[in-house]
Structure 1
Amino acid sequence: MHELNVPNMNCGGCAKSVARAISAVDPAAKVEFDLREKKVMIESESGRERFDAALAAAWFKPA
């Protein structure tokens, strides 16, 4: 499981954009959001660096 801090994820719309970026890397990934803490938890066999790159490309660079 990967836990990423995404400081500029502020709302449900942001979470949907983050989910799309994650699905582009691994369509089978299981994703959970904590908007209050600005965290996303990803259960996937893909490496974290792939998710970091996809989120950065979508303007949601993880901290």
Structure 2
Amino acid sequence: MHEFKLPDMSCGHCLAAVTEAVKEADAGAEVDVDLPQKTVRVESSLSREQLAGVLSEAGYPPAS
């Protein structure tokens, strides 16, 4: 399980975009978004670095 803080995520559209981006990269991924906390937890076969790249490409770079 990987958890990322996504400071640029602020609305339902953002939530959908993050979920869709992860699912496109790994269709079997489980995605749990906490919009008020601006976090996403992902269970995936992809590495943390790969997931961070997917999120960044979607416009939601994880905070360091």
| Fold match (TM-score > 0.5) | yes
- Displacement of 1:6: 0.4
TM-score, structure 2 normalization: 0.92
Query: 1:48, CA displacement in angstroms?
Result: 1.0
Identity of aligned residues (%): 40
Q: Which residue does 1:5 correspond to in 2?
A: 5
- How many residues are treated as equivalent by the alignment? 63
Mark the runs of 5 or more structure 2 residues left unpaired by the alignment: none
Deviation sequence 1:17-39 (CA, Å, 0-9, x none)? 00111012211001111111100
Q: Offset of 1:62 from its aligned partner?
A: 0.6
Runs of 4+ aligned structure 1 residues displaced above 3 Å come to none
1:56 aligns with 2:56: yes
Q: What TM-score, normalized to structure 1?
A: 0.93
Note the aligned Cα RMSD (angstroms).
0.8
SS at match of 2:13: helix
Q: 2-side partners of 1:48 and 1:25: how far apart?
A: 13
